[in-house]
Amino acid sequence: MTRIAVLGNGRVGGSLAKALTRAGHEVTVADRAPGAASAAARAAEIVINATPGAGSLERLTALRQELEGRILVDVSNATVDGPDGLPTDLIHPGSSLAEQLQDALPRTHVVKTLNTMLYTVMTAPAALGQAPTAFLSGEDAEAKQTVSRLLGDLGWQREWITDLGGIETARATETAILFVPHVIRAGGFAPFAISIAR
């Protein structure tokens, strides 16, 4: 059992919290109430960033002390959204939210993952007709191994997980979010993941 704090209680955060609780972890969900994120992060071993990406950097930088020594699993994408709420551009072109977070939180182990799929696939990868891919980006090998085990608890098979390397590789997976509006417009709001076929 791992103590996990989920920052963000929307569809993504709520879905992850329920699935991780079912897997036997002690999960706390922090909403936007004053002090909730700070208290949750301080008590956790792993913190999951499921807050809207546009404001994640500011919110998490404010938790620098609480996040020190923790693994921060970043599943958000920092995008400029169009009138329909779908992403049209990146807030950090030439970089990524994960890189910005790692720079701002040097004593936190940032691991980027689960940001290349519809949120329903994060906790039910086997529901797709083909094997999906979960990508990992991060500087700390041990932290990535820990996150891989957490993905296993969410139903991800080991062969479906690809470690891309350092945190700078997150800019590739974050850029992939620009596929999303076109995929949704072409095929509807149905579960999908950007995957590598071999």
> Of 56, 198, 53, 75, which Cα lies nearest the Cα of 147?
75
State which residues form the domain around 130.
3-187
Task: Let me know if 23 is exposed, middle or buried by CB neighbors in 10 A (0-12, 13-18, 19+).
Answer: middle
**Residues 169/142, Cβ–Cβ less than 8 Å:** no
Residue 109 lies in a domain: yes
Question: Which positions ≥6 away from 118 have C-beta within 8 Å?
Answer: 189, 190, 191, 192, 193
* pTM of the predicted model as reported, rounded to 2 decimal places: 0.95
Average pLDDT over residues 13-35: 94
Residue 26 reports pLDDT greater than 90:
yes
pLDDT at 174: 96
Residue 196 lies in a domain: no
Confidence of residue 181 (pLDDT cuts 50, 70, 90): confident
Residue 192 lies in a domain: no
pLDDT at 183: 86
List the CATH number of the domain containing 141. 3.40.50.720
Confidence of residue 123 (pLDDT cuts 50, 70, 90): very high
Alpha carbon distance 170, 85 (integer Å): 23
**Residues 140/109, Cβ–Cβ less than 8 Å:** yes
Residue 195 lies in a domain: no
Residue 84 lies in a domain: yes
> Of 17, 21, 24, which Cα lies nearest the Cα of 73?
17
Residue 197 lies in a domain: no
Residue 198 lies in a domain: no
Domain count, the chain: 1
pLDDT at 197: 86
Residue 58 lies in a domain: yes
